[in-house]
């Protein structure tokens, strides 16, 4: 069994999205002790933004083909997804949206001839876990209600466009752990973190079971 894991946080230590994903991965591996985890870490190794530009330009101007390196990269990205039985995406919210490196990855994947928007839905129905972290609170009644543009976008791409059977584990108010101006929200942050890890473990186990159903 193959679990594809994508990380996006620029922090390799102290990242909440990575920690939640670790919990989900451990739950998945508990069900598949000999399973393979294929990792792509966009936080450590971002993709070249020029690759998508070249491939997009090639679409509108076939006389100016994209470099072979751009096509090879697209092939590798698509192959990683096509080889997976289950998926784990760890994404923090930056500036009320997805990190730049995640948008670049999505834009490239959407150009893949099989996985992308013109493909035949090869990932449809496969189990996936999305672990999300948000520094503030964005729920109903909060001062920044509606400012979270990351969660609905990722849900649309992963579930509606790719057709994945997506479940989300999230933690918010994470800035309360270090920002003195948010100290009064720390108890809520701790509860959100606890619930996030519980959900990550549950969704990881579920993804493992569904991957062999």
In angstroms, the CA 196 to CA 17 distance is 10
Q: Can you tell me which residue has the tokens 């996030």? A: 196
In angstroms, the CA 7 to CA 197 distance is 16
State the average pLDDT over residues 180-189.
96
In angstroms, the CA 112 to CA 79 distance is 10
Determine whether domain 2-210 maps to CATH 3.40.50.360.
yes
- CA torsion, ordered 154, 160, 161, 166, to nearest 10 deg: 60
State the average pLDDT over residues 27-52.
96
In this prediction the pTM is: 0.96
Q: Edge-to-edge strand order for the sheet containing 86-92? A: 36-41, 2-7, 86-92, 127-134, 165-172
In angstroms, the CA 65 to CA 88 distance is 33
Question: What does pLDDT average to over the chain?
Answer: 96
The pLDDT of residue 211 is 77
State the average pLDDT over residues 30-35.
95
SS3 assignment, position 8: coil
State the average pLDDT over residues 84-98.
98
The pLDDT of residue 75 is 97
Q: Which residue, among 115, 91, 122, 106, has the nearest Cα to 20 in the 3D structure?
A: 91
Whether the predicted pLDDT of 213 surpasses 60 = no
Q: Which residue, among 135, 83, 139, 73, has the nearest Cα to 108 in the 3D structure?
A: 73
Q: How confident is the model at residue 49 (pLDDT cuts 50, 70, 90)?
A: confident
| 105-115 pLDDT, tens digit each | 999 999 999 99
Whether the predicted pLDDT of 6 surpasses 60 = yes
State the average pLDDT over residues 45-73.
94
């Amino acid at each position: 069994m193959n679990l594809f894991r994508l990380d996006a946080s620029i922090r390799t230590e102290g990242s909440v999205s990575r920690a939640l994903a670790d919990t989900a991965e451990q739950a998945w591996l508990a069900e598949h002790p000999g399973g393979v985890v294929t990792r792509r870490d966009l936080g450590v190794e971002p993709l070249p933004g020029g690759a998508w530009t070249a491939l997009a330009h090639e679409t509108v101007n076939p006389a100016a083909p994209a470099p072979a390196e751009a096509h090879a990269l697209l092939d590798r990205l698509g192959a990683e997804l096509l080889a997976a039985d289950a998926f784990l995406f760890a994404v923090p919210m930056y500036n009320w949206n997805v990190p730049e490196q995640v948008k670049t990855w999505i834009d490239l994947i959407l150009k893949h001839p099989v996985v992308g928007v013109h493909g035949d839905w090869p990932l449809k129905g496969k189990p996936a876990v999305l672990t999300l972290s948000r520094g503030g609170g964005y729920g109903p009644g909060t001062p920044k209600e509606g400012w979270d543009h990351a969660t609905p976008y990722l849900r649309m791409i992963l579930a509606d466009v790719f057709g994945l059977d997506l479940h989300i584990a999230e933690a918010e108010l994470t800035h309360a752990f270090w920002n003195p101006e948010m100290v009064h929200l720390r108890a809520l942050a701790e509860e959100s973190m606890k619930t996030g890890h519980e959900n990550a473990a549950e969704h990881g186990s579920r993804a493992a079971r569904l991957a062999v159903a």
